[in-house]
Amino acid sequence: MNSCLMCGSRVSEFISFGPMPVANGFLTPEEFAQERFFPLNVGLCTTCKMVQLMERVDPGTLFHEGYPYFSSTSRSMSDHFQAFAGLVKVEYMDPADPFVVEIGSNDGIMLQHFAVASIRHLGIEPSTNVARVGMAKGINTVCEFFDQDLARSILDEYGPVDAFLGANVMCHIAELDSVLAGIKLLLKPEGVLIFEDPYLGDIVEKTSYDQMYDEHIFYFSVTSLGHALEKHSLELVDIMPQKVHGGSMRYVVAHRGARPVSPSVTAQCAREDALGLGLVETYERFSRSVEGSRKELMALLHDLKGQGKRVVGYGATSKSTTVTNFCGITEDLVEFISDTTPDKQGRYTPGAHIPVRPYQEFLADYPDYSLLFAWNHAEEIMANEQEFQNAGGKWIVYVPKVQVL
């Protein structure tokens, strides 16, 4: 029996993707033989409503000195984090000697805005290669996994926190209870935890099953998070839907009773009830939609191959590992995947072993179709690739449905 990471009750599995490689484990041909696979199965806890992975990969296997995701590769994400930092500075900082902490600070995409303003800050980033990029920008960083013990030493060294921030990281940590206990310890009486992650409601509505991979342990809803926070005498006081990563939710959390609770929190819980986010049937339906999506995408790719068309992938995202391996997309259907990240170029995608090539190769010889694995950056990418479209190039997307654009 699988018990819920948050409340210990039984978790009902609703989808099984089969064995999957490490989603960000881009590799060289010499490494193919040693590649490891892990079960990727997702379930719902019908008691506390938390959607979660049934089995998990050890964090040290996922986050290390060769982590290939550099947050600042996307222009629109840089803008997004500038606005996020701006909001925190204006709304949530005590003017007397403020202190801000960010978990999963990566290459400093958010904290750089505090560093330039000489605001006391600390980044927590266990992947040393990305952390080093942040440190080179002047960001004070500790290269460790955050937990309750690290929280104690941060409190001793720096004192309490005005704003504890996180983006696309809280859902990555199985020991969420230890993280929340640590944050509870660190926050000033008026302090806040503000974090955002891909939102379960969007994943279900858009059939964006590619959000499901080893790093994403939790798929939060406002309802399930509310339950997780209660245990730690923390309270969700506001929510702010975000467009990024295909639909995210930003959560503002405070000590229980310390701040007024916005009516948007209860309103969103009611919306989640109406959407059926706590019901097994909803996920059975989701699972059928995923199967339909796989069939349509594979039929399209086989059809294009039959017509002798060239298809190249755009964005070697971690999400694409789930799509390529679950659907069975290999090099015979998608010639290569273009990506601007130097650490991914020249390597092969996990499991499916599709070559990852520099973006210049996409530009040098446009394919007939480009399969947009980085669909969450569609607006930015399509605006940049007018020339590809003018040359007759077409996009293939699969979220919210399989389509040629």
192 binds Zn ion (CB under 5 A): no
Q: Which of residues 9-28 bind Zn ion (CB under 5 A)?
A: 9
Give the strand pairing for 248-255 and 187-198: antiparallel
176 binds Zn ion (CB under 5 A): no
Q: Which of residues 161-190 bind ligand TMP (CB under 6 A)?
A: none
Name the binder of 316 from ligand SAH, Zn ion, ligand TMP, none, CB < 5-8 A by kind. ligand TMP
40 binds ligand TMP (CB under 6 A): no
Cα–Cα distance between 241 and 265 in angstroms, integer? 11
Cα–Cα distance between 336 and 354 in angstroms, integer? 6
349 binds ligand TMP (CB under 6 A): no
CA nearest to 312, candidates 374, 223, 229: 374
Contact 357, 335 (CB under 8 A): no
The single-letter DSSP state of residue 195 is E
The full length of the chain comes to 405
CA nearest to 155, candidates 165, 164, 167: 164
φ/ψ region of 353 (left if φ > 0, alpha if ψ in -120 to 50, else beta) reads left
Three-state DSSP class for residue 171:
helix
Q: How far is the CB of 93 from ligand SAH (least distance, A)?
A: 19
Smaller CB separation from ligand SAH, 111 or 277: 111
Smaller CB separation from ligand SAH, 176 or 323: 176
CA nearest to 164, candidates 80, 251, 101, 229: 101
Residue range at the interface with Zn ion (CB under 5 A); choices 39-47, 136-144, 166-174, 259-267: 39-47
Choosing from 14, 63, 114, 220, the residue that interacts with ligand SAH (CB under 6 A) is: 63
Q: How far is the CB of 374 from ligand TMP (least distance, A)?
A: 4
248 binds ligand SAH (CB under 6 A): no
The single-letter DSSP state of residue 400 is S
168 binds ligand SAH (CB under 6 A): yes
Q: Which residues bind ligand TMP (CB under 6 A)?
A: 73-74, 315-318, 339-341, 344, 359, 374, 376-377, 380-381
Q: Which residues bind ligand SAH (CB under 6 A)?
A: 59, 63, 67, 69, 71, 103-104, 106, 109, 124-127, 130, 145-146, 167-169, 172-173
